[in-house]
Chains A and B, each alone.
Chain A
C-alpha cells in the first residue's frame, strides 16, 4: 500500500490527452509539500518529468504538465505519442514518516 495513490493504468489514442491522478493526505500533499513526477520507459531508469508541482526540466516537452490542489495532484499529457507509453510515478515528502520521501504505486500508460 503506497502512501500516494495512483490508478494502476490509463490509456489513450495517439493525439489525445490523458491525466494521471495522485492522491495523498494531510501529511504530504495536503501539507503543501511539492509533488514530482517521473517517467520510466521499459527497461530504463526513471527520469524526472515534472518537479515542484508544475515545472519541467530542460528538454521535457510542454505536452507534459502538472498541477496540484489540496491533497491531490495530476499529470496531464496532451498530444499522446506512441513513445509516451511508460510507467509514471508521483513522489513527495511525508512529515509523519520522519523525513520520508514517498512514491505513488505507479501508473502504466498504454497508447492505443
Chain B
C-alpha cells in the first residue's frame, strides 16, 4: 500500500487549503477508513478527519466547521479541503490508511503547506 499527498505548498490566508491523496496497491473501496493528519513545525500530530469509501466521514471537532473530505473511487484517491486558512494551519499534512481499531497502518510521506501572503 502506498499513499502520496499532492497540492499547493503555499496558500494565502482566508483561502482554502486543498490536498489530494493518491492510493496505490490497495483499492479505496476495500472497506477501510482513510485519514488526514497534520503536524505543525516542531509540534505533535493532530488528527483532522477520516472518511470511508461511501463518503461517511468523521472530523476533529476543533476543525469541523472548516473541513470537508471526499473520496473518488474511480481515481482511487481522497481529498481534503480546509476553508478559511490561517497561519495556524501551516503544517506537514499526511494522509493515511486506517487499519484495525482506528490504527493508522500506512502513511504518505507528507507535504508541507505554508499559509502566508
Q: Do A and B come together as binding partners?
A: yes
Q: Let me know if B102 and A45 touch, CB within 8 A.
A: no
Q: Let me know if A97 and B99 touch, CB within 8 A.
A: no
Q: Let me know if B103 and A106 touch, CB within 8 A.
A: no
Q: How many A-B residue pairs have CB under 8 A?
A: 72
A63 within 8 A of B: no
- Please pick, from A47, A52, A98, the residue contacting B61 in the complex, using a CB distance under 8 A: A98
B24 within 8 A of A: no
Q: Let me know if A33 and B101 touch, CB within 8 A.
A: yes
Q: Closest CB-CB distance, A92 to chain B, in whole Å? A: 7
A34-B103, A48-B104, A97-B61 known; A103 vs B47 contact (CB < 8 Å): yes
Q: Closest CB-CB distance, A20 to chain B, in whole Å? A: 14
A64 within 8 A of B: no
> In the complex, what residues of B have CB within 8 A of residue A97's CB?
61
Interface size on A, as a range, is 20 to 34
A100-B47, A100-B60, A100-B61 known; A46 vs B101 contact (CB < 8 Å): no
Q: Which residue of A lies closest to B61 (CB)?
A: A97
What is the CA–CA distance of A27 and B78 in the complex, to the nearest angstrom? 29
A45-B94, A48-B105, A89-B44 known; A101 vs B61 contact (CB < 8 Å): no
B109 within 8 A of A: yes
Q: Let me know if B44 and A101 touch, CB within 8 A.
A: no
In chain A, positions 72-92 with a C-beta closer than 8 Å to chain B are: 89, 91-92
What is the CA–CA distance of A99 and B64 in the complex, to the nearest angstrom? 12
Q: Let me know if A46 and B103 touch, CB within 8 A.
A: no
A61 within 8 A of B: no
- Please pick, from A57, A101, A105, the residue contacting B35 in the complex, using a CB distance under 8 A: A101
> In the complex, what residues of A have CB within 8 A of residue B58's CB?
98-100
> In the complex, what residues of B have CB within 8 A of residue A92's CB?
102
Q: Which residue of A lies closest to B105 (CB)?
A: A48
Q: Which residue of A lies closest to B56 (CB)?
A: A99
Q: Which residue of B lies closest to A51 (CB)?
A: B103
Q: Let me know if A51 and B35 touch, CB within 8 A.
A: no
What is the CA–CA distance of A81 and B18 in the complex, to the nearest angstrom? 40
